[in-house]
Amino acid sequence: MIKISIVEEPKFFKSDKVKGFKKILISHFSKEQFKRNQTKFPVNDIQLQLKDVITELIRKTGNKCAYCESELKNSFIAIDHFRPYYAAADLKGKISTDHYWWLAYHWNNLYPACEICSLNKKNFFPVLKSRSTVNYSSKSTLFHKEAPMLIDPGFEDPEEYFEYDINGEIYSQTERGNVTINLLGLNRSELIKQRKSLVLDLDSLFSVINEIGELNSSGVSTETKENDLFEMLLEYFNSNKFPYLGMRRFLIRKYMQNLSGNHPLSKRRRSTYFMKMFKIKAIKKDSYIDDSNGVKQFEIRTIDIKNYKSINNFSIDFKRTKSKKAGWAILIGENGVGKSSVLSATLKTLVDRNYRNFSFHKDEIKRDQDEKAFVNISFNNSIEARVSIGDKKNIPTIKINL
Contact positions vs Zn ion (CB under 5 A): 65, 67-68, 114, 117
146 membership: H or E segment, kind and range:
helix 139-146
Say how far apart CA 355 and CA 252 lie, in whole Å. Answer: 23
Spatial distance between the Cα atoms of 65 and 71, rounded to a whole number of angstroms: 6
Cβ distance to Zn ion smaller for residue 25 or 117 = 117
Which secondary structure element, helix H or strand E, spans residue 313, and what is its range? Answer: strand 311-317
Query: What is the helix (H) or strand (E) element at residue 297, kind and residue range?
Result: strand 296-297
* Contacts with 63 (C-beta within 8 Å, 6 or more apart), sequence order: 71, 72, 112
- Nearer Cβ to Zn ion (117/377): 117
Closest separation in Å from C-beta 128 to Zn ion: 24
Tell me how far, at minimum, the Cβ of 69 lies from Zn ion, in Å: 7
Longest distance between any two alpha carbons in the chain, whole Å: 83
Q: Which of 117, 119, 118, 81 is nearest to 100 (CA)?
A: 81
Query: Which residue, 80 or 226, is less far from Zn ion as judged by CB?
Result: 80
Q: How far is the CB of 100 from Zn ion (least distance, A)?
A: 21
Q: Which is nearer to Zn ion, 116 or 209 (CB)?
A: 116
Residue 114 Cβ vs Zn ion, minimum distance, rounded to whole Å: 3
Q: Which is nearer to Zn ion, 114 or 303 (CB)?
A: 114
Find the shortest distance in angstroms from Cβ 165 to Zn ion: 20
CB of 70 to Zn ion, least distance (A): 5
Torsion sign across C-alpha atoms 79, 41, 147, 185: negative
Decide whether 114 or 365 has the Cβ nearer to Zn ion.
114
Q: Which is nearer to Zn ion, 117 or 311 (CB)?
A: 117
Q: Are 328 and 345 in contact (CB under 8 A)?
A: no
For Zn ion, the closer of residues 111 and 273 by Cβ is 111
- Cα–Cα distance measured from residue 245 to residue 368, given in angstroms and rounded to the nearest whole number: 33
Please identify, using beta-carbon distances, which residue of 71 and 384 lies nearer to Zn ion.
71
The distance of closest approach from Cβ of residue 166 to Zn ion in the complex, given in angstroms and rounded to an integer, is 22
Q: Shortest Cβ distance from residue 124 to Zn ion (Å)?
A: 15
Minimum CB distance to Zn ion, residue 282 (Å): 37
| DSSP code string of 346-392 | HHHHHS-HHHHHHH--GGGB-TT--S-EEEEEEETTS-EEEEEEEEE
**Shorter beta-carbon distance to Zn ion: residue 241 or 320:** 241
Q: What angle do CA 306, 308, 314 make, to 5 degrees?
A: 40
Of 398, 390, 395, 396, nearest to 177 by C-alpha is 390
d(CA 245, CA 201): 13
Q: How far is the CB of 55 from Zn ion (least distance, A)?
A: 19
The minimum distance between CB 178 and Zn ion, in angstroms, equals 17
Comparing CA positions, the residue from 55, 44, 30, 27 lying closest to residue 81 is 44
Q: What distance in Å separates the CA atoms of residue 376 and residue 301, rounded to the nearest whole number?
A: 11
CB nearer to Zn ion: give 21 or 67.
Answer: 67
Q: How far is the C-alpha of 123 from the C-alpha of 93, rounded, in Å?
A: 9
Nearest in space to 316 (alpha carbons), one of 299, 298, 303, 332? 303
